[in-house]
Structure 1
Amino acid sequence: MLNQPRLEEIMRFLSQQKRVKAADLATQLVVSEETIRRDFKYLEELGKLRRVHGGAILPRLNEEQPLQVRNRIRTQAKAKIAECASGLVQEGMALFLDTGTTTLALAHQLTSFSQLRVVTNSLDIAQLLTQQSDNHVLVTPGDVRRNDNALIGPHTLEFARQFHYDIAFMGIGAVDLKLGLMDYEESEAMLRRTLVVHCVRSVVLADDGKFGHRTFINTLPFDAIATLVTNRPLSADYMDRLEQAHVDIVHP
């Protein structure tokens, strides 16, 4: 079992030194390196640190972690969200899926469909749906962002505006009680602002780790979206705030 005092010690060392080595922590805490690596994995899944070769570092503030790192974080939560979100989809719909690990998890669920029209700015989502389903897939143009294979920029926005979607599924960087939906980069925020006015139903996918955090950009107020899908019941404060904004809340 994971030892909470040891986890707190690891985070204390990390907050002081910004980077720690598994071997050094094993010596200081009198445990094996395998135990420390297991602790690192657990803390990374909570978004507390980022594993690197031989050790761990603190995530940078106001900077989203690379896709390969985010894919290891809150995987069960994202799977629950994807399953709930797929229940909103019917054959024949036109969908937009923006880039992100939760929308990628949703794309896995959508491989069971065969008659969807999916537009995406994610090369990973496009490849998955093309190779594993018979759905029709359109990929936006744009500049390739290397850390997550996303297509971004003015050409992406121009292409997205050409269509009207039954549902636009969007990830988000953070959900703040006062400021609403927030992002790390302006390119993502601009795309999401575009999508909400070109769809019948705008759906934000956000795991419970996104709530109570702030990032750099105010993307959308709560009342700009129709539905929020998450992996567990929300606190009373968030429930009240979203209900005031007339947002449908979906969770397992």
Structure 2
Amino acid sequence: MLNQPRLDEILRRLSQDQRILVADLAQDLHVSDETIRRDLKHLEEQGKLRRIHGGAILPRNNVEQPLEVRSKIKPQAKAQVAQLAAGLVREGMSLFIDTGTTTLALAGRLTGFQQLNVVTNSLDIAQLLAQQSSNRIIVTPGDLRRNDNALIGPHTTEFALQFHYDIAFMGIGAVDLEIGLMDYEEPEALLRRTLVRRCQRSVVLADDGKFGRRTFVSTLPFAAITTLISNKPIPGDYHARLEQANVDVITPRMPPAD
């Protein structure tokens, strides 16, 4: 079982020193190197730090990590969000599926459908659905962003304007209580602002690690979207703000109390 006071001390030292070493932490906290490595892995999955060889550093909040790195963070949480999102889809729908690790997990859930019209700016999502289903797949044009095989830029946004979607599924960089939905780069923010104007239902997929974070670009206020899906019941202050903005919040059902 993870020791919360030890985790808090690790984060305190990281905030103070910007960089921490496994060997130093193990000696100072009187635990094994393996225990510290397990703690760092847990904190990385929470988005609190970034592991490096021999230790960890602070995450770079204004720079999004490559898809390969992000896919290893909170995979179970993303799978839960994807499962809930797939429950909104019906055969014959027209969808836009944005780039991202959670939306890629969603695409994996949609391979059982056969009559969807899917527009995407993710080469990975397009390939997955094309190889494993007979759904119609349309790939946007745009500039290729190599760290996640995403197509972005003005050509992408202009192309997305040609269609109307039953649902637009979107990832997000961060969810801030005061600012709203935030991203790392302006091109993806512009695309998401376009999508909410071209769909019947705009669905943001945000695992619990996205809440309480702040990135570089203010993308959308809460009131601009119709639905937010997360893997856990979201904090009460966020829930109140989303409810005030008439956003439908979907999370897993909690088991009844004994």
Q: State TM-score, norm by structure 2.
A: 0.90
Q: Say which SS state the counterpart of residue 175 (structure 1) adopts.
A: strand
Match of 1:236 in 2: 236
Q: Is the 8 A contact 1:44 1:72 kept in 2?
A: no
Deviations 1:121-158 (A, max 9, x none): 11121122122222221111111112222111111112
Q: Which moved more, 1:228-237 or 1:97-106?
A: 228-237
Structure 1 residue 216 displacement after superposition: 2.0
Aligned partner of 1:136 in structure 2 is 136
Percent of aligned pairs with the same amino acid: 73
Contact 1:82 1:106 in 2 (8 A): yes
What do you get for the CA RMSD once the two structures are aligned? 1.8
Gaps of 5+ in 1: none
3-state SS, counterpart of residue 103 of structure 1: helix
Residue 101 of structure 1, CA deviation:
1.2
| CA offset digits 1:4-59 (Å, max 9, x no partner) | 33323332332233233334433444433322221221111111111223322210
Inter-partner Cα distance in structure 2 for 1:102 and 1:249: 17
Q: Distance in 2 between the 1:243 and 1:91 partners?
A: 29
1:86 alignment partner in structure 2:
86
Q: 1:3 to 1:146 in 2, by over 3 A?
A: same
Alignment match, 2:104: 104
Matched position secondary structure for 1:200 = strand
> Could you say which residue in structure 2 is the equivalent of 1:58?
58
Q: CA–CA distance in 1 between the matches of 2:237 and 2:27?
A: 44
Aligned residue in 1 for 2:76: 76
Size of the aligned set, in residue pairs, is: 252
TM-score when normalising by structure 1: 0.92
Equivalent residue number for residue 196 of structure 2:
196
Q: Is the 8 A contact 1:59 1:65 kept in 2?
A: no
Residue number in structure 2 paired with 1:166: 166
Q: Is the 8 A contact 1:80 1:231 kept in 2?
A: yes
SS at match of 1:188: helix
Q: Structure 2 unaligned segments of length 5 or more: list them.
A: 253-258
Q: Would you say the 8 A contact 1:85–1:229 is kept in 2? A: yes
* 1:231 partner SS: coil
CA distance in 1, matches of 2:25, 2:169: 42
Larger deviation: 28-37 or 92-101? 28-37
Distance 1:7 1:204, change over 3 A: same
